[in-house]
């Protein structure tokens, strides 16, 4: 899973392991810390596979090295971006990693990623709405004080709001991708 984000970030510029770790930590959902014991073996593995190479940074006293994406790494990145995302606990993080790497892929693949994300979010929304209706019905039929149901409904309100926010974000992204596609097309015809 981390491979996707690391390769995607490296499509735009070379980076140190420390900077890559910071980006990885901030991209995980929920956010969590990544230890050097996880990060550096992963970078070594990517280097052993030929996806990255380490370059010495010029003008640094400590022989700082930067990870650089190879042609094989870029091909691997494109494969990972095109791969489907399983609906499991890592789903949101993987989609966030893909969103971070969207600049490195074509418009059709970008659209496919957004379509897949929308389908997953719409499925979640439908499930939350079904449970919400069920709990509302139970609450109205109850003859006793049911704070447990009220709090379950409030919790679902949060989940519903998050789904709606994500779907609105998707709508805005699609509009921007269409604008980018038109601008790119106009530049190509000049």
| pLDDT computed for residue 60 by the predictor | 65
Of the pLDDT bands very low, low, confident and very high (cuts 50, 70, 90), residue 1 is confident
Identify the CATH number of the domain defined by range 106-189. 1.20.58
Average pLDDT over residues 72-83: 96
Q: Give the three-class secondary structure for 147.
A: helix
| pLDDT computed for residue 188 by the predictor | 86
Task: Give 12-69 pLDDT, tens digit per residue.
Answer: 999 988 899 998 888 877 778 888 888 999 999 999 999 999 998 777 667 788 999 9
Domain ranges of the chain: 2-85, 106-189
Task: Give 94-152 pLDDT, tens digit per residue.
Answer: 999 999 999 999 999 999 999 999 999 999 999 999 999 999 999 999 888 889 999 99
**Dist CA 117 CA 95 (whole Å):** 7
| pLDDT computed for residue 36 by the predictor | 87
**The token pair that represents 186 in the structure block:** 């106009």
How close are the terminal C-alpha atoms of the chain, in Å? 40
- Other C-beta atoms closer than 10 Å to the C-beta of 28 total 18
Q: What's this model's pTM, rounded to 2 decimal places?
A: 0.86
Cis peptide leading into residue 125 (ω within 30°):
no
Average pLDDT over residues 167-174: 96
| pLDDT computed for residue 175 by the predictor | 94
What fold characterizes domain 2-85?
Answer: Arc Repressor Mutant, subunit A (1.10.10)
| pLDDT computed for residue 61 by the predictor | 65
| pLDDT computed for residue 29 by the predictor | 75
């Amino acid at each position: 899973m981390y491979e996707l984000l690391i390769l995607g970030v490296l499509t735009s510029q070379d980076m140190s392991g420390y900077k890559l770790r910071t980006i990885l930590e901030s991209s995980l959902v929920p956010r969590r810390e990544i230890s050097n014991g996880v990060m550096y073996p992963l970078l070594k593995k990517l280097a052993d596979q030929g996806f990255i190479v380490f370059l010495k940074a010029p003008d640094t006293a400590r022989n700082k090295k930067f990870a650089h994406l190879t042609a094989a790494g870029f091909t691997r990145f494109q494969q990972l971006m095109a791969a489907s995302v399983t609906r499991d606990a890592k789903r949101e993080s993987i989609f966030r990693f893909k969103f971070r790497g969207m600049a490195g892929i074509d418009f059709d693949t970008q659209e496919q990623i957004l379509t897949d994300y929308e389908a997953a979010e719409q499925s979640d929304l439908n499930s939350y709405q079904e449970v919400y209706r069920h709990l509302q019905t139970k609450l109205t039929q109850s003859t006793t004080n049911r704070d447990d149901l009220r709090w379950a409904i409030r919790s679902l309100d949060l989940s519903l709001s998050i789904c709606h926010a994500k779907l609105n974000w998707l709508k805005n992204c699609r509009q921007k991708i269409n604008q980018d596609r038109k601008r790119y097309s106009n530049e190509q015809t000049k």
